[in-house]
Amino acid sequence: MSRAPRSKDSRKRRQRGLVLLTLLGLLALVGLIVLLVLGWRINEKFEGRRWTLPARVYAVPLELYVGLPIGADRFTDELARLGYEPNAQAARPGTYLRRGERVEVHTRAFRFADGAQPAQRLKLRFEQGVLTTLSNERGRDVPIFRLDPLLIGSIHPSQGEDRLLVGPAQVPALLPEALKAVEDRKFDRHHGVDPEAILRAAIANVRAGQVEQGGSTLTQQLVKSYFLDSRRTLGRKLEEAAMAVILDARYDKADIMNAYINEIYLGQDGSRAIHGFGLASQFYFGKPLEELKTHEIALMVAIVRGPSYYDPRRQPERALERRNLVLKLLGEQGLLTTEEVSAASKRPLDVIDQASQRRTYYPAFLDLVRRQLRSDYEDAVLTEAGLTVFSTFEPLVQADAERALRDALAVLDKSPKKQARGLEGAVVVTAPQTGEVLAIVAGRKPSVGGFNRALDAKRHIGSLAKPMAYLAALQTGEFTPATLLRDEKISLKNADGSKWEPENFDRRVYGSVTMVRALSQSLNLATVNMARDAGLKNVARSYVELGLETTPPAYPSLALGAVNLSPVEVAQLYNTLANGGFRAPLRAVRAVLDEQGKPIKAPELQVDEPTSAEAVYALERMMIQVMERGTGRGAKDALPQGLTVAGKTGTSNDYRDSWFAGFSGGHLIVVWMGHDDNRPTGLTGTTGALTAWTPLMARLNTSSFEPIMPETMEERWIEYYSGRETSPNCSGSAVAMPFLLDTPLPQSETCPPGSQPRTFLDGILDLLDGDAESGATPATDAEGMIESAPDAPPQP
């Protein structure tokens, strides 16, 4: 009877034991599943694409060759833009030595679209603004050499991460050792977590009553940044520790360290999060990671502890104190000598200021690159696949464009006309033969993102529209540069019953005027009457032929600029004109490489000839006269002697927009000025936009515009005012214009073809007589203005 209770208790103990074993088994199973899941997450991300890598966009490299028109000052400015440093011997890549007009430069290695180029030491000599000697360190001549291109930005998510991936070979030897000395001394010995460090930090924090120390290893920091979010809970810390142990067990310490160097958060640039030491080196010092000096590496390691708290730009004293503490620790750990610690501690932070950092960031141009790439790539590919994009961007041209607009606006800010103060502006520069966009300025602060006026500011283009009307007329075959147009008043009825009665800028009426004169002096009445005779639908169609994607409404006011276009759209139209009528869609990308450096199909150069070569050539020659004797002639004295250019001024209704578009043999420049709220500026195209266009064109290394005359045409001399054929020898108003072969022309009564000059005084009298007879006035700032822009076609 006494054994029954013991037997019952024994069964209960066995049952409790089974339950406990079952629970332990379940916990072990759950733990195993959790570890497997965590391991799978680590393996999937760490073995696959380890990082979200935005597409990186590079500028056109500066090509060096004997005869390049560049001086020593401009060359060293470009080296500074690329982050090259002056050095006594130019001993390492990214350094140079200048002695007067001689420069020795140690270039960086770079992988271009057509192959890798190793680092080299070059010797250059300049004379009177020209490169006269280019040789290597052995004294052998170098035919041509490309500097490493400027990194102008990246295409990353609007609120995303940005990083510049670096491999072990690009990491200074001191950096990983410094990280271990300061952040995780047992990195090489622990297994992902350091229990002693966690306990030590916990005791210190309890004593201080606040968090003063962290016990996380570099591996845990990597896990938190790479795999987890910012929540701070016990469960999240346990997950972090487990993943750190798994990561440490599966991968070499070197792999973990390299991942840490590429992943850790090191600062914020607006909406762009700076991750990894590669990008942080560019962000803080403007140069590659491998070129950092001891005191710069120490500062980077100091920032790890708190990128905001130790921000060297906002908290320089705090950052300096922390950097020097890091240097002291490196000395105590035997990584630096006492002398090295002392020398590095005396150095300033040497962080480039925000303005300098911004000078290598070009959001307006990047916006164009992004839009063009989106036609071929999905957003995820652009922001994550690590593409390398070689653009058409030319930093020297961009710098000149920014300077030209900035200086012109600064002068206008002091103008007695209050309306002309505080203007905004935009500049677009292209290469007509290829359609490549070389530079874009979208406002007073070109390095600050925001509204892209060059791409998105749709404004009335004023008299920039006139070349399209004249092209349409020339294409009919019924007009020539000598054709007399009716410059007489016109009254048309709008759809609402109101009248549209355009006027010339000076309110005068000139009667019969030649086509070349009407365009060069931007006469409104002659242009409207000509456009109606040529057919308004033909005028509208000419926009599409020149590259506009949509056909504008065929209103009479279209001939005077009643169409809203952006500066880039204007550049497309005028680029086609500058290219002899061959339409090359504007492009900002030359080539694209994948993450492994393999070329991806590059955007193809498309060239179409949409319009009559004869008509375009005649129009181009008349646009040269705009600069010789018309509304653009004020630029002539400021341009290099002998440089031939063509162009057109533009002013919209009530002086709200000031435009100029013009081209040489190598460059097209479009400039717009105006107020963002569309207030009047008080400026014409001549007194506004032309003041920025002229110094920019003068500064560019460009050639004269010399269009090739079609074989079906011949050059004839006509009187500018009457259109009669004359001789260049005896008429002061004679101008050479192209005509189809055997075109009948009336001859001058006073100076027919073949006439010989009489005297110098007679020539002057001829010129004065011509002006008097025609009622002409010297070219002024006169600019075609539209008095209204009807929303419906006006009826006669």
Query: CB count, 10 Å around CB of 549?
Result: 9
pLDDT tens track for 324-351: 999 999 999 999 999 999 999 999 999 9
> What is the distance between the alpha carbons of residues 796 and 751, in angstroms, rounded to a whole number?
41
Question: Is the domain defined by 56-150 classed in CATH 3.30.2060.10?
Answer: yes
Where are the domains positioned within the chain?
Answer: 56-150, 154-358
The residue-averaged pLDDT of 470-486 equals 97
603 band by pLDDT with thresholds 50, 70 and 90: low
Q: Record the tokens describing residue 494, joined without a space.
A: 């709008």
Provide the pLDDT for residue 246.
Answer: 77
Q: In this structure, which topology does domain 154-358 adopt according to CATH?
A: Penicillin binding protein transpeptidase fold (1.10.3810)
Better-predicted residue by pLDDT, 269 or 428: 428
- Each residue of 414-428: b (16+ CB within 10 Å) or e? ebeeebbeebbbbbb
Which residue among 216, 281, 345, 463 is the active-site one? 463
Provide the pLDDT for residue 779.
Answer: 37
Which residues are paired to 653 by β-bridges? Answer: none
pLDDT tens track for 644-656: 999 999 999 999 9
Which residue among 161, 183, 436, 783 is the active-site one? 183
The residue-averaged pLDDT of 771-775 equals 35
What residue has token string 């509208």? 540
686 band by pLDDT with thresholds 50, 70 and 90: very high
Provide the pLDDT for residue 215.
Answer: 58
pLDDT tens track for 191-205: 778 777 666 655 654
Does residue 703 carry a catalytic annotation?
A: no
Most confident of 71-85, 213-227, 475-489, 723-737: 475-489
Q: Are strands 388-391 and 589-593 parallel, antiparallel or unpaired?
A: antiparallel
Provide the pLDDT for residue 414.
Answer: 95
pLDDT > 90 in the chain, percent: 62
Provide the pLDDT for residue 178.
Answer: 95
Provide the pLDDT for residue 224.
Answer: 82
Provide the pLDDT for residue 41.
Answer: 58
User: Residue 769 pLDDT more than 60?
Assistant: no
- Each residue of 72-108: b (16+ CB within 10 Å) or e? beebbebbebbbbbeeeebeebbbbbbeeeebbbbbb
User: Residue 163 pLDDT more than 90?
Assistant: no
Provide the pLDDT for residue 8.
Answer: 66
Provide the pLDDT for residue 729.
Answer: 82
Provide the pLDDT for residue 220.
Answer: 82
pLDDT > 70 in the chain, percent: 82
Provide the pLDDT for residue 511.
Answer: 96
794 band by pLDDT with thresholds 50, 70 and 90: very low
User: Residue 453 pLDDT more than 60?
Assistant: yes
DSSP output for 387-441: -EEEE---HHHHHHHHHHHHHHHHHHHT-S-GGGTT-EEEEEEEETTTTEEEEEE
Are 56-150 and 154-358 the same fold in CATH? no
Does residue 463 carry a catalytic annotation?
A: yes
